[in-house]
Structure 1
């Protein structure tokens, strides 16, 4: 049940914000765990490019190099063994980061709520990349290097096999960190009531369905401990609450669909990094 990954670098969007540096701190550990390099990307938007005048200062280029140098220093201080590449690219941020994500094993974006305009701009790009990327995308609002909680796998209906990619990703991430997996199975209240009234299908307990799904992944990662809980699906509040002690929240998303209310709430309010795994 191991999952295949794109063989590429871990890509991080760098804009000079505190959130971007937190994204670097998260990403350098991902690159080390995946045995790959780190690619730092700063995008200069077309409308910010000024007509070249001989001898005029390159303000945008100087800023780009400054923030990339700062990000590279942060990465090297954490793990000097990981190869770090820093590049300046021109174009619309959404298009550039989507192009980068196509060849990355993981794309990491920092997002903030400190400034309303910055939050709106970053939020737009985050939603575009999450919606369209064929490879995993991690969103970092805040990152605590000392946190050692569980890796949470956010699951819906136990019969939806597409979300097995979420379980697989969560086990891999937990293995990299030496962490446990907490599988959170969210159900609509109507489904919970129906099961309570009529009983589980085929007389199987709902916990059994969850355990059946988890067993193959546990066999692939015997050192990873796993627990599962059930919660009412209520637009992400349960997942946000669980994220308060988790070190990573892994969620699934159907590619080329606008993020729904639950995923949007998690991306905006989670207290730990969120790893979005696309599926068909």
Structure 2
């Protein structure tokens, strides 16, 4: 069975950037690219002229233009494409079932406002069973300053214990190995609430050498099996007290890819992205991969 990477396109500069990134990623990792354009005829209950044949033809043109551009820019890429008669979220979720990853585009609004992920993107990231990569469009309509190979390092956020972060670290090490770049593993931590109510607890912790060594040890334990599996990957450890979102954004300022986790859990409000993933998706300049884990 071929290993597949799915990319959603809609004719926008953002989706073209996502498709270009996906093609380069596929060449790096020997994956098959499946380009999906979701289009469903939906007559509007407003006085607007609509033509089903014209819209269907445009949907097919978007796909053909994307195929032609990817084939021209990446002659060696294995590629298929289809128009799916459905709305974007369910169409892409079905297409990405069993895929190695799903790639989407996001729109830039400047350094202050950050990036607009969009409701479709948020729904897909929250519900997809595979990692979802969000790619920003550069000024030329393609993805920004980071090439798929030979670019900046891969940055990964590590949290929790060995098992909790295993899937996130596996993905990050695979990416670093494919790119032949270093991996920067970031673990951010905050003081437990008890220290706010009991200053004496902080004094005891200080006498024992502080909490930072425990966080450093937790990071080293989480990395151990993946360092053994990918000995060629140079690993840089980074432990910092403070906001995980701020720490990751700072570490990834020149990165080629930022990898974060999303805990899979059911709630009355439905699936959620998580605060850290939400922060980096809206403000990181490089592509961001969100990896689901239990």
C-alpha contact 1:252 1:276 (8 A) present in aligned 2: yes
Say if 2:193 is the partner of 1:179.
no
Of the two, which has the highest radius of gyration? 2
Q: Does 1:154 align with 2:126?
A: no
Q: Distance in 1 between matches of 2:261 and 2:97?
A: 18
Q: Point out where structure 1 has 5 or more consecutive residues left out of the alignment.
A: 1-5, 51-55
TM-score (norm: length of structure 2): 0.80
1:268 equivalenced with 2:282 (yes/no): yes
- Return 148-157 or 66-75, whichever deviates more: 66-75
- Of residues 64, 72, 89, the one that matches 1:94 is 89
Instruction: Report what 1:9 is aligned to.
Output: 4
Aligned to 2:102: 107
Of residues 76, 79, 87, the one that matches 1:84 is 79
Residue 209 in 1 paired to residue 209 in 2? Answer: no
What is residue 222 of structure 1 aligned with on the other side?
231
Q: Is the 8 A contact 2:133 2:290 kept in 1?
A: yes
* Corresponding pairs, count: 265
CA 235–29 in structure 1, closer or farther in 2 if over 3 Å, else same:
same
1:30-73 deviations in whole A, cap 9, x for unaligned?
A: 212332211111111342599xxxxx772222222222222223
Query: Partners of 2:217 and 2:126 in 1: how far apart?
Result: 32
Q: CA deviation at 1:210?
A: 1.7
Residue 17 of structure 2: aligned partner: 22
How has the CA–CA distance of structure 1 residues 198 and 84 changed in structure 2, closer, same or farther, with 3 Å as cutoff? farther
Range moving further from structure 2, 250-259 or 19-28: 250-259
Q: Distance in 1 between matches of 2:19 and 2:5?
A: 10
Say whether the 8 Å CA contact 2:106–2:136 is kept in structure 1: yes
1:169 is aligned, of 146, 168, 171, to 171
Residue 259 (structure 2) aligns with: 250
Normalised by the length of structure 1, the TM-score is 0.83
Instruction: Provide the residue aligned with 1:241 in structure 2.
Output: 250
SS in 1 for 2:96: helix
1:72-130 Cα distance to aligned partner (Å, 9 max, x none):
23322332122111110111211111111213211101111459xxx87x621111111
Q: Distance in 2 between matches of 1:98 and 1:57?
A: 25
Compute the RMSD of aligned alpha carbons: 3.0
Partner SS state of residue 91, structure 2 = helix
User: Displaced runs of 4+ in structure 1, greater than 4 A?
Assistant: 193-196, 200-205
Q: Do the aligned residues in 1 keep the contact of 2:152 with 2:254 (CA within 8 Å)?
A: yes
What's the CA shift for 1:145? 4.2
